[in-house]
C-alpha cells in the first residue's frame, strides 16, 4: 500500500485519495480500503500442516506502518540537504514483527482453534516528530514494546 516515488517527477497521492475527488476512490460509492491502512506495507509467511482432523502451523509477519507519511513528513522538515535525499528519518519508522503458531482441531461437531503469537513493535508511537536534532544510528534511543497474544475459540457445527 506504499505508493511509489513517482512523485519525484509528478504529484503522487496516497492510495484511496484524490486531490479533486474529495471522497477518494470508491467502488459504487463504497470506500475502498485495506486493514493495514494507506501508506503501509506488510509481508506474511505461513507454513501449515494438515491432518484428517485439522491444521497446525507457524507464521511470520512484518508490518511497516504508514511509511509513506513517515518518509514524506521527514522530507518536509527543515534539514540540511544531505538529510533530504529521499531516505527520510530512517531510525524512527514504525515496524511490527510477529512470530506465532496456530492450530485448528475438528472434534465431533466442534471446531477448536488456538493461536499464540509474540510481537515486537519497533518505535511504538513515534514520539517527538520534528525533533530530529542530529539523531543517528549511534545515539538513537528507540521506544520498542512487545506483546504476547493468545486466543482460543470453540465453534459448534450444526
Residue 86 has pLDDT above 60, yes or no: no
What is the C-alpha to C-alpha distance for residues 22 and 30, in angstroms, rounded to an integer?
Answer: 14
135 pLDDT above the threshold of 80: no
Task: Report the distance separating Cα 25 and Cα 22, nearest Å.
Answer: 9
Total residues belonging to the chain:
158
Quickly state the pLDDT bin for 149 (edges 50, 70, 90).
very high
Q: What is the DSSP letter of 83?
A: G
Report the mean per-residue pLDDT for the chain. 77
| pLDDT (mean) for 108-126 | 91
Measured CA to CA, the distance from residue 25 to residue 149 in angstroms comes to 35
Full-model pTM: 0.69
Q: How far from the centroid of its chain's Cα atoms is residue 72's Cα? A: 17
Q: Report whether pLDDT(132) > 60.
A: no
Contact 145, 121 (CB under 8 A): yes
Distance CA 40, CA 95 (A): 10
Amino acid at each position: 500500500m506504499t505508493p511509489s516515488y513517482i512523485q519525484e517527477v509528478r504529484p503522487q497521492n496516497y492510495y484511496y485519495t484524490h486531490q479533486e475527488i474529495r471522497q477518494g476512490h470508491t467502488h459504487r460509492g463504497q470506500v475502498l480500503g485495506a486493514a493495514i491502512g494507506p501508506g503501509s506495507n506488510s509481508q506474511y509467511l505461513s507454513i501449515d500442516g494438515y491432518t484428517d482432523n485439522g491444521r497446525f502451523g507457524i507464521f511470520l509477519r512484518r508490518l511497516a506502518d504508514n511509511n509513506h507519511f513517515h518518509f514524506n513528513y521527514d522530507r518536509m522538515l527543515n534539514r540540511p540537504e544531505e538529510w533530504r535525499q529521499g531516505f527520510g528519518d530512517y531510525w524512527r519508522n514504525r515496524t511490527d514483527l510477529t512470530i506465532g503458531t496456530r492450530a485448528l482441531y475438528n472434534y465431533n461437531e466442534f471446531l477448536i482453534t488456538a493461536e499464540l503469537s509474540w510481537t515486537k513493535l519497533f518505535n511504538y508511537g513515534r514520539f517527538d516528530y520534528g525533533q530530529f536534532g542530529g539523531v543517528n544510528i549511534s545515539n538513537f534511543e528507540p521506544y520498542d514494546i512487545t506483546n504476547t497474544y493468545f486466543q482460543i475459540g470453540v465453534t459448534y457445527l450444526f
